[in-house]
Amino acid sequence: MKASISFRPSGLSFSRTTFLQSRTELTIPQKVFFPRAKHAESGIDGSFSLRLVPPTLLAAEKEEAKAVLTLFLKKQGLSNAVAARTINKADAFVDHLVSRLHTVHKSRYLVGRELTTLEIRDALIPYLESLHEEYQAILVDVVENFPDPPAKVKIEESVQKQPVMENSVASVSPSVPTVDSKKLKALARVNDISPTGKLPSHILYLLELGMELDAIKEVIRKFPAFAYYSLDGKIKPVVEFLIDLGVPKADIPIILSKRPQLCGISLTENLIPTMTFLEELGVDKKQWAKVIYRFPPLLTYSRQKLKATVDFLYEMGVSAENVSKILTRCPNIISYSVEEKLRPTADYFRSLDVNVAFLLHRSPQTFGLSIEANIKPVTNFFLEKGYTLGDVATMISRYGTLYTFSLPENLMPKWGFFLTMVYPKSELVKFPQYFGYSLEDRIKPRYEIMRRCGVKLLLNQMLSLSEDDFQKLLKKKMQKKLSD
């Protein structure tokens, strides 16, 4: 059950109102808890049995959420000491972030795959940015006092459904941002019921598409112009255009929530020419539905920005065919700054004698990581364990995703368990994908089965085989051992 808490200065009354009535409301669960995200396991009959995410994984995700929140607070200008104090008081808010993480990545838990650092970051940072836009100067108070922030501003609707301040704006403390009148006016349009008792036509259309009223309000709070878009002139043509591209109707609300600006862009002058430009670069026309769903902002970037990224990929030696695959599989690479993110990361990996073109093709998301916070610590970790730079380069080339995993919550625990197994360190150079498997749900159980059977499989065989093939290979090894 969810409720919204209004923020207003002390001394004013407090109420729990409907979800997202104004830009000053924060939607929170009345009791913060972890949703029951589940792993899927194949049953004998092909069905799936579900079980809760292990406590160790929840703890790891909590640490990741803390790290993301810490970096975000520092980015807003907080000192290390202030950010640390805020995190120490933010347990409830961190739990809320993890809960949100489970909601965003339900499918990952159903296949039993752990989230990478990049996936966690990409899920949480946009949410934190929206909160920062919302609360600005009191964001730290919101984080520390979640779910009961100290300062509150009440926005209620009059009989005519117009938002009215319960007390005058002049009574608001200078330290608390005043309500943005433009956003209030935009939100009022959502509830602007006509004399016939019906909601505005553009709101009804979005509701018919499956978009929740609360979600529409949230979009308008972030992007007020959306409330004024014409149904027939802007919203409907873009929606029909997306559906014609093969985008499932059920995905439209998600796409509009992520990038409502799409409805403000001319189809003939911008969207279609941009798509044509990308298709000329090799983006698969048949994949547009998936590409847009993965990264709706792609079509809102200028062709100059698109060309700058593509030129960089060619400069790095990526073939035309692979450029198209990168843009199709990881369209958000367009959002990375060429000079501030892509080029420095490429230079770093080149210094390790890594084939940058190959890495870009295999794991473009790696180039969205921080060199100092994510990439260098992973390299140093393996060097400290006795691996050479050549070994590290080989591991990266074989499994570029390696750098997207958390060092303290993924690599280190799995390394610790690896040392208890019967494999030489060189086995990880051959099969660095080891770090992509769940320690509790794959690595430990399979190793224990193998150990009890008294046989030894290659690390690759132990982890990558399907359950049936794993059992068959164990049986074959056991029979051979008996015959010997």
pLDDT in tens, the chain (484 residues): 333 333 333 333 333 333 233 333 343 333 333 333 333 333 333 333 334 566 667 777 888 888 889 888 887 777 777 788 888 888 889 988 888 877 777 665 555 566 777 778 778 888 887 777 666 667 787 788 787 654 433 333 333 333 333 332 333 333 334 445 777 777 777 776 556 667 788 888 999 999 998 888 888 888 888 888 889 999 999 999 999 989 999 999 999 998 898 988 888 888 898 888 888 877 887 888 888 988 988 888 888 889 999 999 999 999 988 998 999 889 999 989 999 999 999 999 999 999 999 999 999 999 999 999 899 999 999 999 999 999 999 999 999 899 999 999 999 999 999 999 999 999 999 999 999 999 999 999 999 999 999 999 999 999 999 999 999 999 999 998 888 7
**Residue 34, burial from CB neighbour count under 10 angstroms (0-12, 13-18, 19+):** middle
**Does 135 map to a domain?**
no
What is the count of structural domains for the chain? 1
Q: pLDDT value at position 107?
A: 60
Q: pLDDT value at position 394?
A: 95
Q: pLDDT value at position 30?
A: 37
**Does 43 map to a domain?**
no
CA within 13 Å, CB half, 260: 19
User: By residue range, what is the domain housing residue 205?
Assistant: 180-264
| Beta pairing partners, 27 | 4
Q: pLDDT value at position 53?
A: 63
**Vertex 394, ends 431 and 440: CA angle to 5°?**
30
Whole-number Å distance between alpha carbons of 40 and 56: 17
Which H or E run contains 50?
strand 48-52
Q: pLDDT value at position 84?
A: 83
**Does 27 map to a domain?**
no
**Does 239 map to a domain?**
yes
Q: Sign of dihedral through CA atoms 209, 212, 217, 218?
A: negative
> What are the backbone dihedrals phi and psi of residue 163, each rounded to the nearest 5 degrees, phi first?
-70, 130
Which H or E run contains 145?
helix 139-145
Which H or E run contains 359?
helix 356-362
Q: pLDDT value at position 136?
A: 64
Q: pLDDT value at position 165?
A: 32
Identify the DSSP state of 152.
B
**How far is C-alpha 34 from the chain's CA centre?**
17
> What are the backbone dihedrals phi and psi of residue 259, each rounded to the nearest 5 degrees, phi first?
-145, 75
Whole-number Å distance between alpha carbons of 120 and 122: 6
Cβ of 54: how many Cβ atoms within 10 Å? Answer: 14
**Does 6 map to a domain?**
no
Which distant-in-sequence residues (6+ apart) come within 8 Å of 170 by Cβ? none
Identify the DSSP state of 192.
-
**Does 188 map to a domain?**
yes
**Residue 456, burial from CB neighbour count under 10 angstroms (0-12, 13-18, 19+):** middle
Q: pLDDT value at position 36?
A: 34
Whole-number Å distance between alpha carbons of 161 and 189: 9
Q: pLDDT value at position 405?
A: 92
